[in-house]
Amino acid sequence: MSKFLIVGLGNIGAEYHHSRHNIGFDIVDFFVDQEKGYFAPDRLADRAEVKWKGKTFICIKPTTYMNLSGRAVKYWLDKEKLLVDQILVIVDELALPLSKIRLRPGGSDAGHNGLKSVFEHLGTHEYPKLRFGIGSDFPKGMQVDYVLGQWRQEETPIVKQKIEKCAEVIRMFATIGIAKTMNEVNKLEFGVSTS
């Protein structure tokens, strides 16, 4: 396989910029930027195409809002004539601590509105997902504010470290495959060294 659809989930609009829920956007932005690519408005998404080591990455940031993300994923999957195992969907994950990322070849939407929409349009949960742990450090009833909120100052060094690693995961996924990549990244613990 030499072509992949890399999907960063998020919400359009300045008020969501760099929020926890928009980490998918931030990761694909970082990846495309590293490869000297650029996003341009396209059908249902901002789209960039970058090439690296003989692989082509179609990177999209759906412009449909999170709960309709599946429309963009399905459209670009069909347009690029790709199979579901050639997609990588990148999302924020409340159930994972900030110190973790998790790559899986499938798995449920775990209540994530973006993934729910992808399931509705693809009809399967069995497609690769990269979940970026955002933790769940918020008072009862404050989940929405937390998810849509900005990173705390003390979190930003870890977030930056993880974004860089996630860009590496995209390349690994395309070159060594999902199983080997999972072995390497799912056990990692991110944190700021105190030395």
The amino acid occupying position 91 is: V
Q: Which residues share a beta bridge with 59?
A: 6, 48
Active site residue 125: no
177: alpha, beta or left, given left = phi > 0 and alpha = psi -120 to 50? Answer: left
Burial 54-70 (b: 16+ CB within 10 A, else e): ebebbbbbbbbebebbb
- Among residues 123, 166, 175, 187, the alpha carbon closest in space to that of 31 is found at 166
21, 112, 121, 125: the catalytic one is: 21
Q: Return d(Cα 46, Cα 60) in angstroms, integer.
A: 6
CA distance 85 to 128: 6
Are the CB atoms for 18 and 24 separated by under 8 Å? no
Catalytic amino acids? 21
